[in-house]
Chains A and B, each alone.
Chain A
Amino acid sequence: MALRKALLSGLVALGLAGSVLASPAQDLFDQATFLIGFYYNGPAKVPNFRELRQRYQPELQRLCATEGDRCGFDKARQVIQRIVQDIADPFTMLLTREQLIDEQRYGAGLGPAAPWVGLWVRETPRGLVVSEAFPGEPAFEAGLRRGDLITQVAGQPATLARLSAAEASRSAFSLGYSRRGSARTVTLTPRVAGATMQPRLEINNNIAYLRVYHLYSSESYSTAQRIHDAARRAEQAGARGMIIDLRDALTGYDSEALLSAAAFIGKGGFIYDRRFEGQDETYTVENGKLFVQPEGEEREEQSALERPYLARIPLVVLVNRNTFNSAEMLAYFLQAAGRAKVVGEPTAGALGMSGSAEGPLINGEFIAVSSLRMRNLDSSPFPLKVSPDVVVEDDLEALVAGRDRILERALEMLR
């Protein structure tokens, strides 16, 4: 979640028992309202923590009316979800422990922890449209591809909930789908993902196509390094243009987005702005090295790519309404530097918002709070979303009919 890496260090948690003084619900409420009200620095108007508590305390009391000091976490959770909804910025949200574990796995170059069949789908009234079939995973191996329309899951009409339930069951299930009108059925057995969510490069007709799923990294794996490697390979193969596909891309780390952009822009940076005095931090990239400079201190090298590259190849970036947070940042860095044209839909709207996973909350969950507002190095604020240079709707009907309109437009632009 564009969460900065430093604070993610293994503070996983599981909520079990009650507290010492007030009800569990009251404790959780107090904790979450402080973390939101004290640190919030996002685009919404959020009152400080005292006001926030005053405002939502009656709701908690209503929910806890019958249980008193035995009122459980679930009641507070409802109120917190309500606060998150009222804030209505796409970044601020509750995160489960499972979600944080998945992020750590992405950072290690792996897929999610729970067994899956390796699909990203989008729900439509006609069924589930496959937006990605990850090579190497069960669905891909069984023949499914982007653009297929899944109509049945285990004999039932296909919904996202049914697919998730079938994957969670861990046992084989049937999947009915159609490709351009012809119906097919396969049997899939969910399994734990392998290293299939790393950037994937294809070169066809002298155009390099790089699919990027997220921008996580760890000590052992760097998405940015894979992007630099891909840029080098594309140029070495003599490609005359490159497409970076960030449609549906998850977030990751902002610093990783900056390091990734460096493969094409060389130098760049951003400022993290907290609502407190003297707490800004400036991140810059230069020669594949990432520097951090806390306000009033010297800049320090934080990390460095092993094999940085600087590519001159013409570049088009694909985005859609699901391109989120750090992925929006990568598109923005490339667009703002005049290095790439962006094609597709306006992005999710969490550009320039960041924060760390606060917690653990005492119920074992975490909370992501927009505590950091991002600025360009000249102090101008980031926009809230990426506006494509060429707006093309991500048309699922067309995709099911075999036409990827955004990709087609990008190919035209590189011709």
Chain B
Amino acid sequence: MRKLLVTLALLLSPLSLASPAQDLFDQASFYLQFYYYGPATLNLKELTARYQEELDRACAPQKDTCAYSRAVPIIQQMVRELNDNHTYYLSREDIRGVRESRQGNAPSRTLRIGITHLPVPGSRDRLIVDVVEGGPADEAGLAYGDRIIAINGRLLSELPDDNQVVQFLNQSVQSGRPVVLTILRGPERQRLEVTLTGREINLARFPSLKIRPNGVAVLKIPDFDAQGQVGRRVHELVREAQQKNARAMVLELRGNSGGLLTEMIISAAAFIDDAYVALMDRYQTERNEFRVRDGRLTITRNGRTESTELSFLTRWRGPLAVLIDGNTASGGEYLASAIQRARVAPLVGVPTLGIGNTTTRPFSLIDGGALSISYNRAFFADGTPFPARAIPDIVVESSLEQLANTGRDLPFEKALEALGIRPTGR
């Protein structure tokens, strides 16, 4: 027996001295091949074999000492071939970021005003496409669709390229001094000067409510990340809209990037009577059901049920329209599909990103990172699968260029129209 072991050990010694890079690659490849349950139809065995060759080339100089960092870009490239937004590599830092958003506390660590902006084609101007709740921009009243044309009095059109515009804005904010933004707003192209000062902000996102002068409530859910917070907040805001006698509601899911299933389903219960998702993995090892009904969140895992009373639930029963776009992803798509199926509101906009029928599960990797893999498929209560994309009932093609040039948010206008409300600007 002993002799056999010695022989075996000798035989194995070349392989048991695998490099860190090879170990990491083996681990990622196994998880991908074994658990992947997403839409990609690539032959995963062939895929990993092909990238093994890449790794061999990359590690040829170092052999047994080839470091984790050599394997990471190869793993990233490999999973990119799946073209599946629910399958991706997370670095140690990414994981920290995810953890912070889950806790609802993601300090920016640098000075920010809290906007996402994109270039306006054919100019140097910037279009605001997202505003972080509670940040300086939000407090100063900046909003989706505002076009920045000057910073501290300097016209952006005078700058030589987009990079310099971004740099100029960043430097102005990083200075810590007040920044004056000149913007164009709305169909009237109203010209405004807004002064705001960068500070460290919380990058974790939360639902927000704005009630327009015409009595329409706009409830925006940017994501479902903050655990125990997003769902509750949605119900609080729906109640607020009811108390303020909002006559209709627009649920803003454009750009919603997904997050936790439980937060999504609790949110859904504010709009539909029986919010339900069942999840099943590739081997049907685990069947998980999530349901919010009759004031309770019930989670059933393989027949074992845990039920929690949710004291904060409310239900929007007024007119509702839902805005979606090509960046509405994952949890955002689940919510849109569930609302559409319950026939409580039309979806307005363009088809969503296309990962609305899977969940992703992170597998820890030995470099401290993780490989998140499409792990479950999702089903409605009657066993029908969720659709990959939510398809709008009212299709409104729109472009950022058109929004930037005319100040008209066409999908939003269509949503109002569907609600029977004449568009009266902002």
Contacts and interface: CB of A to CB of B under 8 A. Distances in A.
Contact of A45 (B8, B283, B301, B304): B8
Interface string A1-44: 00000000011111111011000000100110010001000000
A51 B12 CA distance: 8
Interface residues of A, number: 32
B285 interface: yes
Given A19-B283, A274-B366, A276-B23, A51 B15 contact: yes
B304 A12 contact: yes
Contacts of A360: 285-286
Contacts of B301: 10, 12
B368 to A, nearest CB: 7
Given A12-B304, A31-B34, A45-B8, A17 B18 contact: no
A276 B27 CA distance: 11
Contact of B30 (A20, A27, A38): A38
A15 B285 CA distance: 5
Interface residues of B, number: 27
B286 A47 contact: no
B84 interface: no
Contacts of A277: 20, 68, 366
A58 to B, nearest CB: 15
A258 to B, nearest CB: 23
B5 interface: yes
A14 B368 contact: no
A27 B283 contact: yes
Contacts of B367: 278
Contacts, number: 72
A270 interface: no
Interface in B352-375: 366-368
Interface string B1-25: 0000100110110011010100100
Given A11-B286, A12-B304, A279-B366, A49 B26 contact: yes
B284 interface: yes
Contacts of B9: 45
Contacts of B30: 34, 38, 49
A371 to B, nearest CB: 11
Mostly helix, strand, loop or mixed at chain A's interface? loop
Interface in B13-69: 15-16, 18, 20, 23, 26-27, 30, 34, 68
A307 interface: no
Contacts of B5: 45
A362 B283 contact: yes
Nearest to B67: A277
B1 to A, nearest CB: 10
A34 B27 CA distance: 9
Contacts of A115: none
Nearest to A10: B301
B80 interface: no
A20 B282 contact: yes
A14 B303 contact: yes
B302 interface: yes
Given A34-B34, A48-B15, A276 B284 contact: no
A18 to B, nearest CB: 8
B265 to A, nearest CB: 17
Contacts of B20: 276-278
A362 B16 contact: no
B21 to A, nearest CB: 10
The 10 closest A-B pairs by CB, nearest first: A362-B283, A276-B366, A17-B284, A14-B302, A277-B20, A47-B12, A13-B285, A362-B285, A13-B286, A34-B30
Interface of A: 10-17, 19-20, 27, 30-31, 34, 38, 45, 47-51, 274, 276-279, 294, 360-364
Given A12-B301, A15-B283, A49-B30, 17 more contacts: A11-B286, A12-B302, A13-B285, A30-B34, A31-B34, A38-B23, A38-B27, A47-B15, A48-B15, A51-B15, A274-B366, A276-B23, A277-B68, A278-B368, A279-B368, A294-B368, A361-B285
17 contacts: A10-B301, A13-B285, A13-B286, A14-B286, A16-B284, A20-B282, A47-B12, A47-B15, A48-B15, A48-B16, A51-B12, A276-B23, A278-B68, A279-B368, A360-B286, A363-B285, A364-B285
